[in-house]
Amino acid sequence: MTEGTEEPLAESRNVPALLAALRTRQSSCTVVVTGSPGGSIHVRDGLVVAMETPGAPGIEGLLLRSGRIGEQEWSAVRASDTTHEHLAAELVAQGLVGAGELEVISLSALFDAAFALSLAVPDSWEVTDPVPTLYRNTGVTPERLLGEVSRRVDLLAGEPGSVAALARTRMRSASTAHLPEPVEGLPARHRAVLAAADGRRTARDIAFALGRGLFAVMIDLRHLLDRGLVRPHSPSANGRPSTAARVTPSAVTSLAVAAPSVPDSASLPRRLPGRNSAPARRPHD
């Protein structure tokens, strides 16, 4: 961080305002968002180049889970660059993924993480020195980032709170005896989501299992819900407990599992104070 930037950054009311200030100053840094599960926003010369959160698959998950790159190949590349500073260049140089394809995946993961972050309000934020991370794109402005998040929320929204509710709901496929149409006629991506909807997984869990973006999975789930092919899962008192990764009941502000009282928002989290800032402010403050 450059000298004299700490005071204006500490006064930022929310992450969008912080990103705007970083854009104005053409700063290079990493914004560490704390909460449950939290995440990181990587800024280079004022542009957002990457975001990481357990709420959505990152570049590594998209490459490995989809089978685009094998585990051994990935491990070899990581061993050649333990700092992650040149991972993207190594992946391309070794012919494991094309430069253009990696750029598309990099931007997709960035927008998907921003969308996941918009579904709940984390606890705080802190601006740190730049942390090396895997990305291959020239960066996007805060305005473009927020515009894409708004577009995605609008596409999914049915009523206030519906996007956050869809993200946190465990889904199961409808009984095969009562399916309204043959599964064989569905696109392959819908069949994969249908197979993964086992009653223990949320949209986030399905995205990680399939190596697909959270938003893309939620679009498919909405389609399957509208056609009666999946439904929310209500476990019985004697049912087997879920084995899907999830936060504790007290962690109601998870990036992937939003609290019911948090409305859908096209913005990134509100007031997320740094180490020396005032306590976090909620939307009603």
Of 182-186, 191-195, 214-218, where does mean pLDDT reach its minimum? 182-186
- Does the pLDDT of residue 225 top 60, yes or no? yes
Give pLDDT tens digits for 82-99: 777 789 999 999 999 999
pLDDT at 18 over 50: yes
For the entire predicted model, the pTM comes to 0.77
Question: Are 206 and 173 in contact, with CB atoms under 8 Å apart?
Answer: no
* For range 247-262, the mean pLDDT: 29
| Backbone dihedral angles phi then psi of residue 182, each to the nearest 5 degrees | -65, 135
Q: Which residues are paired to 172 by β-bridges? A: 198, 231
Residue 115, both tokens: 């969308």
With contact defined as beta carbons under 8 Å apart, do 57 and 115 qualify?
Answer: no
Residue-level pLDDT at 257: 29
Residue 2: pLDDT above 60?
Answer: no
Give 177's pLDDT tier (boundaries 50, 70, 90).
Answer: low
pLDDT above 80: residue 245 = no
